[in-house]
Amino acid sequence: MDGCTECGFVFAQLDPGSLPAALRSGAGAVRGALEHAQALGRAQVRPGPAVWSPLEYACHVRDVLLVQRDRVILALVEDVPDFVPMYREQRVDLVAYGGEDAAEVSVELTVAGNLTAKVFAALSPHQLARRCIYNFPERAERDITWLGRQTVHETHHHLGDMQRALQAAATGTP
């Protein structure tokens, strides 16, 4: 996966040295979208049964940041680790994303973005080249640079999802 046709994100356009700033910026943008949705009273509104609310997307991004941080650490201490799925769909209900406090999630997004950015900021070029097995969108061997770009992509992609969910909730269309 070198890009996303749905959101237009192109992995190669993100220089590895820019990963920490992009992670902080992405988390900040998701936080801003969540705070905007909360101000409008729509943070918990699902535009349709199969579409997450802005709050649920924000919780997902927070968890992605933290899971990816742990995956980087694992890839630094194990040779070519095979990452288990994060069970993104199951987390929505199991962790009750829709019932979380939006103000707390906003703070947690900043913390998660900063923690993940710090890990990437400390990596050498050799460490960025370490390999891992990533299972999404298909099982493939990747390097930590790709993992960082995928993490930034998640923030970018789900920011768009949040904006579409908020628009759909405002217009009443799923």
Q: What are phi and psi of 132, to 5 degrees?
A: -155, 165
**Residue 164: per-residue pLDDT:** 93
The pLDDT tens digits of the residues spanning 65-120 come to: 999 999 999 999 999 999 999 999 999 999 999 999 999 999 999 999 999 999 99
**Does residue 138 form part of some domain?**
yes
Return the H-helix or E-strand segment holding 169. helix 144-171
Give the count of domains, the chain.
1
Tokens of 1: 């996966």
pLDDT of 173 > 80? The answer is: no
In terms of residue numbers, what domain contains 88?
A: 16-168
Examine residue 128 and state whether it is found in any structural domain, yes or no: yes
Mean residue pLDDT across the chain: 95
CATH number where 99 lies:
1.20.120.450
* CA within 13 Å, CB half, 112: 26
What is 104-168 written as a DSSP string? HHHHHHHHHHHHHHHHHHT--HHHHT-EEEE-SSS-EEEEHHHHHHHHHHHHHHHHHHHHHHHHH
Is residue 118 included in any domain, yes or no?
yes
Whether residue 136 is predicted with pLDDT greater than 90 in this model: the reply is no
91, part of any domain: yes
pTM above 0.75, yes or no: yes
Q: What pLDDT is recorded for position 167?
A: 87
Whether 9 is covered by a domain: the verdict is: no
